[in-house]
A and B are shown apart, each in its own frame.
Chain A
Amino acid sequence: MNATARADGVAKRFGPKVALGGVDIDLAPGITGLLGPNGAGKTTLLRILATVLPADEGTVELLGLDPGTPDGRLAVRRRLGYLPQEPGFHRSFSAFEFVDYVAILKEWGERGARHDEVRRVLSLVGLESVMGTAIKKLSGGMRRRVAIAQALLGDPDLLILDEPTAGLDPEQRLRFRELLSAVAARSTVLLSTHQTDDVAALCNRVVVLLGGTVHFTGTPPDLAALANGRVWMDAERDPSAQLAWITGEGMVRHIGLPPSGAQLVAPTVEDGYLTLTGATAGVLA
């Protein structure tokens, strides 16, 4: 694989708490989904890859550059788009003014070209009609799209998005998928999310982080395959199943060790993820 971003043995501690305990990850052009439960270290890993935080241990290489050096970090930042998990806004700014401000910080000095670029990215996220509206007057979903727009400035080579679809309505999520798939044609995208259907729909690779270490790297079908033979449907809840829930059709979907004769179904990425996290936690045998 031709990696555009690589982390080898990356560790990070916050006081006594180990956030990352030696993470190895390679990112190639396309979209890589980063899955993991809360507290798994996803955001910490993303912040390290986005040059927000230095790693305590291990090496990081981004776009062939060493972000540990000032010049390397500068070069990376010039080709980086980043959406933090909880992006703040200057609430008195309009959407246009805020993205324009970020564009200035991304060294778009010439006003005309910069404004064209700001309008372009705001149009990409469907905010062209409200770009003059103060951010404090926008809905949560619209603010999220403003945050996505700023990450797209300048068509970055490396795009790191921390839960980008949180707060988006279904239509906007679909539009976001369309947009991201277009971006991924030429960029490397790392997408942290709890939405496994986004991963299944978008990502060509997926990494599962559990307890600060990588527990899975592969394609979404590979992740789904972890649950092969462990997902079945039944009319009644099977008490031997580790996880079970009633689906929209009124059937009970089970994950675990199926009883003989069970009606096995094809697992999804979510099933694979739950199988993996359940096994790690000792819930699933």
Chain B
Amino acid sequence: MGAVTVLMTMMTGGSGVGFGLVGTFLIGGVVWMIAGWVERRRPSRERGWSPVPTVAFHLAAGHTAAPPRAVAMALGRVEARELMSSASMGVGLGFSLMVLVLFGHVWASDYRGGLGGSMELYPIYVHPLAGLVVLAAHRARTRSTRDHTQELFDTCPTSHATRTAGHLLTAWTPATVAIVFLTLMTILVAANTLSGFDAVGARQVAAGLGAVLLCVGATSLGVMLARWTPWTLVPVAAVIAIGFGATRLATAGNRMTEPIRQLSTWLNDPEEHVRFIAPHWVAHHLWILSLVGLVAVLALIRDERRPRVMLMGAAFAVLALASAVGATRPIDTADAERIATLINDPETHQRCVDAGGLPVCTYGTDTELARHIADAVTPVVLAAPPRALAGWSVRQDTDLDVAGLDPEVRHLLAPKRDDRRYIPMDKIVGHRAATEGARLWVALTAAGVTEDITAGAALSLDHQARGVVALWLATRGLDGKAAAAMTSTDAATHDSSNYTQAFGRPWPDTCYAGPAPVTWAFTDVDAARLLLTAPEGAVSDLLLSDWDRFTDPATSTDELLHAVGLDPVTPRSGSTVGGGEC
């Protein structure tokens, strides 16, 4: 534990040691050189018949024997070709393609975390590929046994350890595949979501690199299992066991901040909470790196226990212990304070764009989303009198599942202020339902409804003209079809694949637009649809001329229709309800 403490202190540049990573590398370099010196001085040791090549040797044909490193690299090139052409890799590529299409294209716009959150999922995206790489690497390293070439190869001067090193060097192949796969995924996700590359920071890049590292580790695992347990079903069992174990870890406890999750090979979906968590991602990746290194060392020491390799094993073991402790430690105080201020004081941390005089504000990395929302709500804002939205702004919501935050962050949260005139933009994605939710929120605010809404219960707007005004406002700038969809109560005729208003209610899908803050009587929705048939200019002039009256809760729907010159709609019972739990 002392070594772990020292290592962690040095890694973080603690004052007790004082030279951080540089010192670690310096000490490591010295130890490495000493181990090399010891290795050169001691007689070669081996298991069974495998030799340890130590000196250059002239072959009978006058050819100089290549050093083990060159042999391993040459073998690595051949084995990389074989690995790439293996059936398992083919299946892995197929899975990767499927993941690419589904998560990069089909479902990309649904994902609430945007590009940044999506990148944090890259490690799980490569799991199918990595699993099959384990099988492919195992089969490659056991090929000589399966094909009965072992006896012949054993009479060659190349040792088993060098051959194992050659197989370990094939890791660049799946790593390259992963890089190509993740690059394509990044391009697709960036094209299909609204949070752009400004949402990508060191943590997200590290997650991408961590995914590549997993493929390297998969190769090492396959080779290691082949050396210790060369039976066909072993890698299958190992992949299944690791899959279950990693999933169990990744889904343990609290979704956002459970520390033990950092020990999994993949981390659970941060979605829109990506900025409100501060996992110890460096330690997590060091943990994965140390496991990969340990597995590679285990593969090598099956046949040859050289001091340098043993030293590497010891270093990886210490690193594994230190990084496991580091990854599961509580959130750093500075991070907790930073997250708390993001929530307590969003004005300081958000940037705004103008939407016809209404500021639309998002956290710094989501300005592309802000522009998108501003474009969507501008027609709504312009259709209302300027005073109706004076002092209001649309803001990315911080109404988090507070219980999911780190306790250290929860501790620092201030009571939520109710004097803010925010229109909450609950979800931070460019999904159409979220956009329509923003339009409705702005319309409801302009109609004076927002201030009457209390948290936890939908406000009934039954038979109130302002509810109809809000629906009419929300449809400004929409084409006829979209406007009709927003004011439809006919679930049966609705296109269920378009789940913005799939169930015959104006409020769109709550997974993307948040819970419905109001309900309308079916009669009012019918009235709004009727209002859409009237000339837009006439309706607009009428509403602007007597805005206070038509947004007064006491003004009925029938009064509004009468003022426009429309007949009252046929009364029918029932109100729209929200979509319930997402």
The answer to whether B155 touches A104, judged by C-beta atoms less than 8 angstroms apart, is no
Q: Is the CB of A71 within 8 A of B149?
A: no
Q: Which residue of B lies closest to A106 (CB)?
A: B156
Contacts of A86 in B (CB 8 A): 148
- What residue of chain A has the Cβ atom nearest to residue B57's Cβ? A78
Number of A residues near B (Cβ < 8 Å) is 45
A52-B154, A104-B74 known; A74 vs B53 contact (CB < 8 Å):
yes
| Residues of A with C-beta under 8 A to B258 | none
A80 to B156, CA, bound (A): 8
Q: Are A87 and B60 in contact (CB-based, < 8 A)?
A: no
**Interchain nearest-CB distance for A206 vs B (Å):** 24
Q: Are A78 and B152 in contact (CB under 8 A)?
A: no
Check A73/B53 contact, CB under 8 A, given A78-B65, A104-B74, A105-B71: no
Beta-carbon nearest neighbor of A68 in chain B: B49
Q: B155 touches which one: A80, A90, A91, A111 (CB < 8 A)?
A: A80
Are A89's CB and B147's CB within 8 A? Answer: yes
Chain A 154-185 near chain B by CB (<8 Å), digits 1 or 0 = 11110000000000000000000000000000
Residues from 544 to 562 in B contacting A, C-beta threshold 8 Å: none
Does A235 touch B at the CB level, under 8 Å?
A: no
Chain A CB within 8 A of B67 CB: yes
Contacts of A101 in B (CB 8 A): 75, 78
Mask of B270-306 contacts with A, CB within 8 angstroms, 1/0: 0000000000000000000000000000000000000
Which residues in B have their C-beta under 8 angstroms from that of A91? Answer: 147
Q: A104-B75, A104-B78, A107-B158 are in contact. Are A73 and B60 (CB under 8 A)?
A: no
CB B73 to nearest CB in A, in angstroms, measures: 8
| B54 part of interface (Cβ distance < 8 Å) | yes
Q: How far is the CB of B68 from chain A (nearest CB, A)?
A: 8
Q: Are A90 and B157 in contact (CB under 8 A)?
A: no
Minimum C-beta distance from B424 to chain A (A): 61
Given contacts A102-B152, A154-B63, contact A51 B71 (CB under 8 A): no
From A54, A77, A155, give the contact of B60 (CB < 8 A).
A155
A70-B51, A74-B157 given; A156·B149 CB < 8 A? no
Asked if A105 contacts B151 (CB within 8 A), the reply is no
Our pick among A71, A84, A114 for the contact of B152 (Cβ within 8 Å) is: A84
Instruction: Convert B129-168 into 0s and 1s, putting 1 for each residue whose CB lies closer than 8 angstroms to a CB of A.
Output: 0000000000000011001111111111110000100000
- Residues from chain B with a CB closer than 8 A to the CB of A80 are 155
Query: Would you call A109 and B49 a contact (CB within 8 A)?
Result: no
B-side contacts of A109, CB under 8 Å = 65-67, 70-71, 73-74
B337 cross-chain contacts in A, Cβ below 8 A: none
Total B residues in contact with A, Cβ cutoff 8 Å: 40
Partner of B158, one of A47, A106, A114, A157: A106
What is the bound-complex CA distance between A88 and B148, given in angstroms? Answer: 4
| Interface flag for B59 (CB, 8 Å) | yes
Which residues from A are CB-within-8-Å of B148?
Answer: 86-88
Q: Does A270 contact B (CB under 8 A)?
A: no
Contact for B143 among A73, A90, A100, A108, CB less than 8 A: A90
Within 8 A of B (CB), among A96-155: 97, 100-102, 104-111, 113-114, 117, 147, 150, 154-155
- State how many angstroms separate the Cβ of A146 from the closest Cβ of chain B: 11
Smallest Cβ distance from A139 to chain B, in angstroms? 18
- State A110–B63 Cα separation when bound (angstroms): 10
Residues of B within 8 A of A87 (CB): 148-149, 151-152
Q: Is B329 an interface residue (CB 8 A)?
A: no
Q: In this assembly, does A79 line the interface, its C-beta being within 8 Å of a C-beta of chain B? A: yes
B166 to chain A, nearest CB (A): 8
Looking at the complex, which one of A70, A88, A100, A117 makes contact with B46 (CB distance below 8 Å)? A70
Asked if A50 is at the interface of the complex by the 8 Å CB criterion, the answer is: yes
Of all chain A residues, the one with the shortest Cβ separation from B59 is: A154
> Known interface pairs A70-B46, A84-B151, A88-B152. Does A107 touch B61 (Cβ–Cβ under 8 Å)?
no
Interface residue? B232 (CB, 8 A): no
Cβ of A75 within 8 Å of any chain B Cβ, yes or no, is yes
> In whole angstroms, what is the CA distance A79 to B163 when docked?
19
Which of A86, A91, A102 is most buried by chain B, counting CB atoms within 10 A of its CB?
A: A102
B158 to chain A, nearest CB (A): 4
- Chain B residues closer than 8 Å to A79, beta-carbon distance: 59-60
Minimum CB–CB distance from B271 to chain A (whole Å) comes to 45
In the bound complex, CA of A106 to CA of B65 (Å): 8
Find chain B residues with CB under 8 A from A273 CB.
Answer: none
The count of A-to-B residue pairs whose CB atoms sit within 8 angstroms is 121
Q: B248: CB under 8 A from chain A?
A: no
- The yes or no answer to A232 lying at the interface (CB within 8 A) is no
From 32 to 74 in chain A, residues with beta carbon under 8 angstroms from any chain B beta carbon are 47, 50-52, 54, 70-71, 73-74
Q: Do residues A70 and B71 form an inter-chain contact, with CB atoms below 8 A?
A: no
Q: Which residue of chain A has the shortest Cβ distance to B76 in the bound complex?
A: A104
Chain B residues with CB under 8 Å of A77's CB are 51, 155-157
Asked if A105 meets B59 with Cβ closer than 8 Å, knowing A88-B147, A90-B143, the reply is no
The reply to whether A70 and B45 contact each other, CB–CB distance below 8 Å, is: yes
Instruction: Return the chain A residue nearest B148 by Cβ.
Output: A88
A104 touching B147, Cβ below 8 Å: no
Known: A84-B151, A86-B148. A104 touches B61 (CB 8 A): no
A200 to chain B, nearest CB (A): 28
The answer on a CB contact under 8 Å between B51 and A73 is yes
The complex places the Cα of A154 from the Cα of B54 at a distance, in Å, of 20
Q: Tell me whether B66 and A107 are in contact (CB under 8 A).
A: yes
A74 to B46, CA, bound (A): 11
Q: Are A104 and B59 within 8 A (Cβ)?
A: no
B-side contacts of A105, CB under 8 Å: 71, 75, 153, 156-158, 163
Q: Within 8 Å CB of B43, what residues of A?
A: 70-71
Query: Which chain A positions have C-beta within 8 A of B57?
Result: 75, 78, 107
B438 at the interface (CB under 8 A from A): no
Residue of A whose beta carbon sits closest to that of B55 = A71
Contact at B155–A51, with CB atoms within 8 Å?
A: yes
Within 8 A of A (CB), among B529-572: none
Within the complex, the shortest CB–CB distance from B553 to chain A, in Å, comes to: 79
Chain B residues, Cβ within 8 Å of A88: 144, 147-152
Q: How far, in angstroms, from A75 to B60 measured CA to CA in the complex?
A: 11
Q: Is B44 on the interface with A (CB-CB < 8 A)? A: yes
B52 on the A face (CB < 8 A): yes
In the bound complex, do residue A107 and residue B49 qualify as a contact, i.e. CB atoms below 8 Å apart?
Answer: no
Which residues of A have CB within 8 Å of B158?
104-107
- In the assembled complex, which residues on chain A have CB atoms less than 8 Å from the CB atom of B85? 92
Contact between chains at B153 and A154 (CB < 8 Å): no
Q: How far is B181's CA from A141's CA once the two chains are assembled, in angstroms?
A: 45
Which of A73, A97, A107 lies in contact with B59, CB distance below 8 A?
A107
Most buried by A among B63, B71, B144: B63
CB distance from A192 to the nearest CB of B (A): 14
Q: Among A77, A105, A111, find the residue whose CB has the most chain B CB atoms closer than 10 A.
A: A105
A74-B53, A91-B147, A104-B78 are known contacts. Are A113 and B63 too (CB-CB below 8 A)?
yes
Please, how many angstroms separate the alpha-carbon atoms of A105 and B150 in the complex?
12
Cα A102 to Cα B73 with chains together (Å): 14
Q: Quick one: CB contact mask for B344-377 with A, threshold 8 Å, 1 for yes?
A: 0000000000000000000000000000000000
Establish whether residues B49 and A51, one from each chain, have CB atoms under 8 Å apart when the complex forms.
Answer: yes
B147 cross-chain contacts in A, Cβ below 8 A: 88-91
What are the residues of chain B within 8 A of A117 when measuring CB–CB?
A: 61, 63
Could you tell me the distance between the alpha carbons of A112 and B75 in the complex, rounded to whole angstroms? 15
Complex Cα spacing A117 to B62, Å = 12
Decide: B152 and A82 in contact? CB cutoff 8 A: yes
**Shortest Cβ gap from A189 to chain B (Å):** 13
**Chain A contacts of B63 at CB under 8 A?**
108, 113, 117, 154
Which residue from B53, B66, B152 sits with its C-beta under 8 Å from A108?
A: B66
List, sorted by A's number, 7 A–B pairs whose CB atoms are closer than 8 Å. Answer: A47-B151, A52-B154, A71-B43, A73-B51, A78-B59, A106-B158, A107-B59
Known: A107-B158, A157-B60. 4 other contacts (CB 8 A): A77-B155, A89-B147, A90-B149, A107-B59
